[in-house]
């Protein structure tokens, strides 16, 4: 579902956000800093459930891409869906770390792979799934 109630977002700013997701996921998997999952949980919840335009990291990356002349506006719906998935994965990672379990490595590995793909070639798997879902539902 296209979101016309929220202003379009910059897809290149979201690629910078993918770099943050990649870095936090890598830190979760390969360092003792699992507490960094709070960055994914809070940031994803703020961008996905509230508005990307209220998130400090999105505003910073959007301003940076604007100054570099790399602004590419897209509808916010698919990106907000992706952020909701990041928020859920980050909350699972954080919760399992607090519980002393290693099961949080599964969503961390998934985020690591998908954020790397988004960061390098610009393919957002969650955005693709979101679009496919609504196309199939419309038929």
Q: pLDDT per residue over 43-98, tens digit each?
A: 999 999 999 999 999 999 999 999 999 999 998 999 999 999 999 999 999 999 99
In a domain, 4, yes or no: no
This prediction has a pTM of 0.92
**84-89 contact pairs (CB < 8 A, 24+):** 84/44, 84/48, 84/49, 85/44, 85/48, 85/126, 86/21, 86/40, 86/43, 86/44, 86/48, 86/111, 87/40, 87/41, 87/42, 87/43, 87/44, 87/45, 87/48, 87/49, 88/44, 89/40, 89/44
In a domain, 1, yes or no: no
Say how many domains are in the chain. 1
Range of the domain at 100: 9-138
In a domain, 103, yes or no: yes
């Amino acid at each position: 579902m296209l979101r016309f109630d929220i202003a379009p977002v910059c897809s290149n700013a979201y690629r910078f956000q993918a770099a943050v997701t990649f870095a936090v996921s890598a830190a979760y998997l390969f360092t003792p800093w699992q507490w960094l999952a709070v960055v994914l949980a809070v940031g994803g919840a703020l961008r996905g459930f509230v508005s990307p335009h209220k998130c400090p990291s999105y505003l910073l990356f959007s301003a940076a891409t604007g100054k570099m002349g790399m602004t590419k506006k897209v509808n916010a719906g698919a990106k907000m869906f992706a952020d909701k998935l990041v928020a859920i994965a980050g909350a699972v990672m954080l919760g399992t770390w607090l519980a002393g379990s290693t099961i949080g490595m599964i969503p961390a590995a998934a985020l690591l792979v998908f954020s790397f793909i988004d960061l390098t070639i610009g393919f957002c798997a969650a955005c693709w799934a979101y679009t496919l879902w609504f196309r199939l539902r419309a038929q």
